[in-house]
Amino acid sequence: MSEQKRTTIILFSGDYDKVMAAYIIANGAAAYDHEVTIFHTFWGLNALRKDETIEVKKTFMEKMFGKMMPRGADKMGLSKMNFAGFGPKMIKDVMKKHNAMTVPQLIEMAQEQEIKLVACTMTMDLLGLSQAELLDNIEYAGVAAYLADAQEGNVNLFI
């Protein structure tokens, strides 16, 4: 019997198209029986944010970060051709015509495939994000936990 293959992805970007690519790769790897971890850090944490406003006590700076960052995967902008917010709408219309899955659907599929979705606790502290503001059924860890997974990885990506 062959050894379990592993894929790890550091998701640093908060751009809709890059997050989409990360989740397509992750879901594809899981479909090929890879054990998959996506480590969300900095702007990549926005993919894990809940859509609704969650009342949490925050400092002034944490409130400012919260207001400036998109709330939820569907609210993220594109890396190119954002066009003051029209870009994401255009790409979503094209995706709909081609029956492509949205980022929220890809995240849901990842959870169904038991892909390990990890939020970086250090970045959460820096940006003032609490567990209550992030999706349910995800994990929380620091860089050491990611490195332990990556060390065993056959494929390690930074997106």
Residue 30: CA count within 13 A, CB half-sphere: 21
Range of 109's domain?
6-158
Q: Does residue 1 form part of some domain?
A: no
Give the tens place of pLDDT for each residue, 26-85: 999 999 999 999 999 999 999 999 998 888 888 888 888 888 899 889 999 898 887 777
The verdict on pTM exceeding 0.85 is: yes
pLDDT, one tens digit per residue, over 106-119 is 999 999 999 999 99
User: Domain holding 79: CATH number?
Assistant: 3.40.1260.10
Per-residue tokens: 142: 């620091």
Q: How confident is the model at residue 128 (pLDDT cuts 50, 70, 90)?
A: very high
| Tally of structural domains, the chain | 1
SS3 146: helix
